[in-house]
């Protein structure tokens, strides 16, 4: 079965490239509002589920013990762009627990934000593990291990007890099995598990509403989502697609990108979770898909829907900054 | 019509993403050796046709007048990575014709090569138009205009006489129409024209063999291809896919990437031209496609075919450098 073409890339008036994908939107009971393509095929959510993976940080009491506010909780759910404020906050989170950069096991890479890379190079420095886009998530893992008295060394490994905890949480929230059979290794060295996007949408509906979660988990989910929506820069970065989407309607939209064309999102006021995957892994297409789905779901707020629709149709500039093309949802997706 | 899945991206043992595409391989008469997918649909070749666009530089006598050797001709056909040697050679080409960077109309961007970007930032400098991956092509255009006495200002525009010359050359070599109806603007501000990949394959077979071209054009084509195959670094760069492909068999393989998942190539000893397009525009997939097609065409040279086959199966590393996945051709493409 072929998933439909959902996004087109135009140069001038001609379609230059096209992206296929699948999209699931449902409520906390699993009742579907929108289903496009194969929503049962397992996909790796990658970074899109960081908010679910951050639940133990709150539930364990670690976040309170270390005095974490919205920014720290947002960073624990983040794929940040390695900007100075992200790096310093990750360092500070680790410091709160008496840990430092060397305890991270995510590896290092130059910042995702180009200006941050140039500034780092100009200062004569090189990137550390704190610049890794996942350093906030890893810092959250380490702080929780510290708080509950779990030896953190090797915390990224499938066999480490903390990864077993994360599997239990993911299974509870998404109702999808997480085991060695559907696991692989993410870029930051932790396990990632291939599950259907319909389960991801279900999980995000539950995170947004608290329905069908324990009272403790529902409260933690609400706190994490509120933190991300209050501090979207710390979930993403200056040039990240998540930022304008969450800023378009402060406190009303939660979105989180994942590598290889995954997006998860939720609209708490509608009680809906959203998950999608671009077949070929392109972020540019996943960003258009999530924006147009949000525009459709929130169409009763015309000003907001117009803003989201605009985010779903980015221009492609030449090297001189002239628009020479655009990306847009296909009719199948936008009508 | 859906093009078939030709490339899979694996994480662990699971397919994470997939890429569709179309491939045409034919000889200089248009006789097909391999046709996969819709080879009649027009696609923008983007930078993949730079060698054809460099023909007037040689045919006009400009290259000889300015003393250009293999490196300059290779750079005129290049999508270079903005490394110091590329930038200096583009500057020198312009200088030969009494021109400088300010005559370029391609716009600037940071080098495609990451190390070159870091080095440039560390030196306190910013990129110029010479760092644009197309600066060699543009320098070739400017030098030719200068040699034939054509006012160069505005040379990137559809209406400029030099672009009309390039359309005539492209039509002669590919037998596909080039006009305002199938044109759009490339990232470096020159026109690009959507034509079928079967015509692109035909054009590259003719470039490689000289068949069905005028004697002057055949000689210029041979000189340009020889220059590119002799100096592949100047057609590409340290981290470009073109480089290991051409180095795998010096003088026997010509390849040239184009943006949005296009690749053109030729195997002169077989008299064959190759053109392909990944539907979604992914370079990583187009690189795998061209490598595996070359491995198949050159299978009688077992050592070379093995090397090309290896280039068609790159590993995906974690941020710690551990292989956590790979990219590979599907069976449809590799058998």
Task: Give residue B334's pLDDT band: very low, low, confident or very high (50, 70, 90).
Answer: confident
A66's tokens:
């270390």
Q: Do β-strands B272-278 and B14-27 pair in parallel, antiparallel, or remain unpaired?
A: antiparallel
pLDDT tens for residues B222-234?
A: 999 999 999 999 9
- Provide the pLDDT for residue A332: 85
Interatomic CA distance for residues A223 and A229, integer angstroms: 10
pLDDT tens for residues B133-148?
A: 999 999 999 999 999 9
Chain A partners within 8 Å of B13 (Cβ): 184
Q: Which of B228, B121, B162 is nearest to A120 (CA)?
A: B121
Chain B partners within 8 Å of A8 (Cβ): none
Interatomic CA distance for residues B289 and B22, integer angstroms: 9
B127's tokens:
């990129």
Q: Does B331 touch chain A (CB under 8 A)?
A: no
Q: Name the pTM for this structure.
A: 0.98
To the nearest whole Å, the CA of A161 is away from the closest chain B CA by 21
Q: Say whether pLDDT at B93 is over 70.
A: yes
Q: Residues in chain A with pLDDT < 70?
A: 1, 335
Q: Calculate the average pLDDT of chain B.
A: 98
Q: Which of residues 233-262 of A touch B (CB under 8 A)?
A: 260-261
- Provide the pLDDT for residue A1: 64
Roughly how many angstroms between the first and final C-alpha of chain A, as a whole number?
23
CB pairs under 8 A between A and B: 141
- Provide the pLDDT for residue A334: 78
A199's tokens:
């389960």
- Provide the pLDDT for residue B1: 64
ipTM: 0.97
Q: Does B283 touch chain A (CB under 8 A)?
A: no
To the nearest whole Å, the CA of B113 is away from the closest chain A CA by 13
Q: Find the helix packing angle between B302-311 and B283-297, rounded to 10°.
A: 170
Average pLDDT over residues B34-57: 98
Handedness of CA A307, A308, A313, A319 (dihedral sign): positive
pLDDT above 70 coverage of chain B, percent: 99
pLDDT tens for residues A308-326?
A: 999 999 999 999 999 999 9
**Which residue spans within chain A are E strands per DSSP?**
5-11, 14-27, 32-36, 42-43, 183-185, 191-193, 195-196, 254-258, 262-267, 272-278, 315-317, 323-329
To the nearest whole Å, the CA of B327 is away from the closest chain A CA by 12
The answer to whether the beta carbons of residues B218 and B210 sit under 8 Å apart is yes
The answer to whether the beta carbons of residues A227 and A58 sit under 8 Å apart is no
- Provide the pLDDT for residue B332: 85
DSSP state for residue B193 in the 8-state scheme: E
């Amino acid at each position: 079965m072929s998933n439909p073409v959902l996004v087109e890339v135009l140069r001038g008036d001609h379609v230059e490239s096209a992206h296929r994908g699948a999209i699931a939107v449902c409520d906390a009971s699993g009742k579907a509002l929108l289903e496009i393509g194969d929503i049962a095929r397992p996909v790796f959510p990658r970074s899109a589920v960081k908010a679910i993976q951050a639940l133990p940080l709150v539930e364990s009491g670690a976040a309170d013990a270390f005095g974490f506010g919205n920014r720290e909780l947002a960073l624990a759910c983040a794929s940040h762009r390695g900007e100075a404020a992200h790096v310093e906050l990750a360092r500070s989170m680790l410091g709160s627990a008496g840990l430092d950069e060397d305890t991270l096991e995510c590896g290092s890479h130059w910042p995702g934000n180009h200006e941050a890379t140039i500034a780092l190079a100009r200062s004569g420095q090189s990137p550390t593990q704190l610049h890794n886009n996942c350093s906030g998530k890893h810092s959250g893992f380490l702080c929780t291990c510290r708080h509950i008295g779990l030896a953190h060394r090797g915390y990224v490994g499938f066999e480490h007890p903390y990864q077993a905890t994360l599997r239990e949480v993911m299974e509870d929230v998404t109702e999808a099995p997480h085991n060695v059979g559907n696991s692989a290794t993410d870029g930051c060295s932790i396990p990632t598990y291939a599950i259907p996007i319909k389960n991801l949408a279900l999980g995000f509906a539950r995170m947004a509403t608290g329905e069908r979660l324990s009272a403790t988990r529902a409260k933690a989910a609400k706190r994490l989502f509120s933190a991300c929506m209050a501090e979207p820069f710390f979930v993403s970065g200056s040039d990240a697609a998540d930022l304008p989407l969450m800023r378009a309607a402060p406190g009303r939209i939660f979105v989180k990108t994942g590598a290889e064309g995954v997006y998860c999102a939720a609209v708490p006021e509608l009680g809906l979770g959203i998950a999608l995957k671009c077949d070929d892994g392109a972020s540019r297409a996943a960003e258009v898909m999530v924006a147009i789905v949000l525009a459709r779901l929130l169409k009763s707020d015309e000003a907001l829907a117009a803003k989201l629709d605009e985010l779903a149709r980015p221009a492609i500039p030449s090297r001189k900054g002239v628009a020479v093309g655009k990306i847009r949802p296909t009719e199948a997706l936008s009508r």
